[in-house]
Amino acid sequence: MTYLNSYFTKTPEKERSSAAIAFFAALDHLYSTAPSVATAIVQELQDQRAFLKMIASENYCSLAVQLAMGNLLTDKYAEGIPGHRFYAGCENVDAIETEAIELLKEIFHVEHAYVQPHSGADANLVAFWACLVKRVQTKEIERLGKKTLDELTPAEYEGVRQLLVNQKILAMSLNSGGHLTHGYRHNISSKMMQAFHYDVDPITGLLDYKSIAKQAQEIRPAILLAGYSAYPRRINFAIMKEIAASVGATFMVDMAHFAGLVAGHVFQGEYNPVPYADIITATTHKTMRGPRGGIVLCTNEYKEFVDKGCPLALGGPLPHVMAAKCVAFREATHPDFAKYAHQVVENARILSEALMQQGVKLVTNGTENHLLIIDVTPFHLTGRHVETALRQAHITCSRNAIPFDKNGPWYTSGVRLGTAALTTLGMGPTQMKAIADMIVAILKATTAAPTANGSSSKSLCSVAPDVLETVQHKVQELLVQFPLYPEIA
C-alpha cells in the first residue's frame, strides 16, 4: 500500500497501467523525502480533475512530456549550443537539443530555431536583444573600425550602450490585448527601449492596420511587434510585414498564444507569421501543449544573434525542459495534432456563438482563435466578480481587461476563456454548448456585494446557491466523461 491509495482506489494495484505504476512509484519516493510537496502535487491533480480548465494560456501536456521533464537531465550544465558548449559531457543534451531544433524547423518551416528560453518572457528578451545587437551594436562596432565588443574602449562601449537603449518598439497595447513584455511600463522591455503602442479600434475591437501604418510612419520603430495574449482574432501578418518594411523595422511576432494553431495548420497564408516575420517567439505550454517554456524562430540572418541567447539574456539552459519540449514537438508532428488544433478553434467558435445567442456580449463579437473575451459590464459585474463566481462553480478562467476598460487591469470588465485544455480532454460542440449554458447561468445568478457606503464592491460577490450547486454538479458530470490522465487511476 502506498500513501497514494487513499487518493486513487479506483483501479486495483494489479490492474494499473504502466503510466500509473510509474506515477505512483515516483510520488511514493517523493513522499518519503518531501511529503508536503508530494501531497501538493497529488492535490493539484485532484483539483485539475475537479474544475473545467478554461484559462486561455493553459493546457494539459502528455504524461510522456511530463516524464521527460522530471529527471536527471536537470543536473547538467549546457551553456552554448549543440556542438559548441562551455562544459564537457554535453553529448546527450546535444542530441536532445538538436532533435528539438530540427523538429521545430520541420513543424514551422523556419530556417532556424532556438529552444533554450525558459519562458515566453525570456524568449522575448532574447529576441529583442538579438534584434538590437544585429541592428545597432554590430553596425556601430563596424563603424568604429573594430571587430568585436571586447576591442571597444570603455567610452566607445558606453556609446554603444546608449544607442542600444534608445531604440523604439511599436507593439499592441496591453489595453487592447498585448502582453506585459511588449513595452509595459512595469516590464524591463519598456526600460531597454522606448515603447510605443497601437490600440484596437474602440468600436469594433479589431486591429486597424491603416492607423498602425500611420503610427509606424510617425514613430519609425526599430521593431514592429505583432502578437497578443488577449485578442480573439487572427492577425494579417502580410499587412504587418508591409508596414514594418515601409519604415525599415524588424518585424517580430510573439505567437505565444497561437503557436499550436500555426503548427496545426489552422493559421495559414497571411495568418501564418512564418513567411513574413524576421523573428518569432512563442511559449511551448499553451496551444503547443508542451512543457512550460519558450522558443525563438528566425531567419538565418538572425541565427548567430539568437543563438547567443545565453549569455546575452539567459542563464544556463534547462536540459530536462528541452527534452520535454522535444517530446511535445514530436507529438505536434503527428496528424492528430492538426485535428486537435482545428477542434480548439471550432470549439471556441461554438462556445462564442452559444454565448452570444443567449445575449452575452463578446469583445469583437466572436473569435477566430482559441480564446474569447466576455464583456461582463451588462451584468453590472467586474471581471473579478465573474472569475470568482465561475471558480466557485468549478470553472477556472482569468479576468481580463476589455479594450479601454474603465475598471483597469486589476478588477477589469471582462473574463477571458480558452478552449485548448478542454479540447485536449476530448470535448467538442455538445460540451461547448452545455458549458455556455452553465456560464450564462452563473452570470445571471451573480450579484456584486454591497459595501458599507452603499456602493458595490468591485471584488466581492455572491452567487445564488441553487444555481451554483446545479452548475457544480453539471461540471462534475462532464469531467467524469472526460477524465484528465485516465491512465492514472
Q: Which residues bind ligand DSN (CB under 6 A)?
A: 57, 120, 179, 229
The residue (of 57 and 347) whose beta carbon lies closer to ligand DSN is: 57
Nearer CB in complex with ligand DSN: 57/407: 57
Nearest approach in angstroms of CB 371 to ligand DSN is 9
The answer to whether 296 touches 313, Cβ cutoff 8 Å, is: no
Give the residue with the Cβ less far from ligand DSN, 134 or 179: 179
How far is Cα 181 from Cα 199, in angstroms, rounded to an integer?
16
Residue 115: CB partners within 8 Å, gap ≥ 6? 97, 100, 101, 104, 293, 295, 322, 325, 326
Sheet holding 250-254, edge to edge: 112-114, 294-298, 279-283, 250-254, 223-227, 168-172, 194-198
Considering the complex, what minimum distance in angstroms separates the CB of residue 488 from ligand DSN?
A: 26
Q: Indicate if the alpha-carbon torsion angle 99, 86, 301, 174 is positive or negative.
A: positive
Question: Rg (Cα) of the chain, in Å, rounded?
Answer: 24
Least distance in angstroms from the C-beta of 416 to ligand DSN: 8
- The Cβ-side half-sphere exposure at 59, using a 13 Å CA radius, reads 32
Please, which residue, 215 or 419, has the CB nearer to ligand DSN?
419
- Distance of closest approach, residue 273 Cβ to ligand DSN, in angstroms: 17
In angstroms, give the least distance from the CB of 179 to ligand DSN: 6
Q: Which residues sit opposite 207 in a β-bridge?
A: 200
Q: Work out the burial of residue 122: count CB atoms within 10 Å of its CB; fewer than 13 is exposed, 13-18 middle, 19 or more buried.
A: buried
Q: Looking at beta carbons only, is 132 or 282 nearer to ligand DSN?
A: 282
Smaller CB distance to ligand DSN: residue 385 or 416? 416
Helices and strands per DSSP (H, E), number in the chain: 20, 16
**DSSP classification of residue 402:** P
Query: Cβ of residue 387: shortest distance to ligand DSN, in angstroms?
Result: 13
Q: How far is the CB of 258 from ligand DSN (least distance, A)?
A: 11
Whether the Cβ atoms of residue 76 and residue 319 lie closer than 8 Å to each other: yes
CA angle 207, 293, 398 (to 5 degrees): 55
Q: Between residues 38 and 296, which has the closer beta carbon with respect to ligand DSN?
A: 296
The three-class DSSP label of residue 375 is strand
Indicate the residue among 97 and 122 with the shorter CB distance to ligand DSN. Answer: 122
- Which residue lies nearer to ligand DSN by CB, 82 or 294? 294
Taking the complex as a whole, how short is the minimal distance between the CB of residue 116 and ligand DSN, in angstroms? 18
In 247-318, which residue ranges form alpha helices assigned H by DSSP?
259-263, 300-306, 309-312
CB-count exposure of residue 138 (10 Å: 0-12, 13-18, 19+): middle
Q: How far is the CB of 227 from ligand DSN (least distance, A)?
A: 10
Our CB check for ligand DSN shows the closer of 288 and 488 to be: 288
For the bound state, the minimum distance from the C-beta of residue 229 to ligand DSN, rounded and expressed in Å, comes to 3
Alpha-carbon separation of residue 280 from 113, 130, 296 (angstroms): 9, 12, 6
Question: Between β-strands 398-400 and 414-418, what pairing exists: parallel, antiparallel or unpaired?
Answer: antiparallel
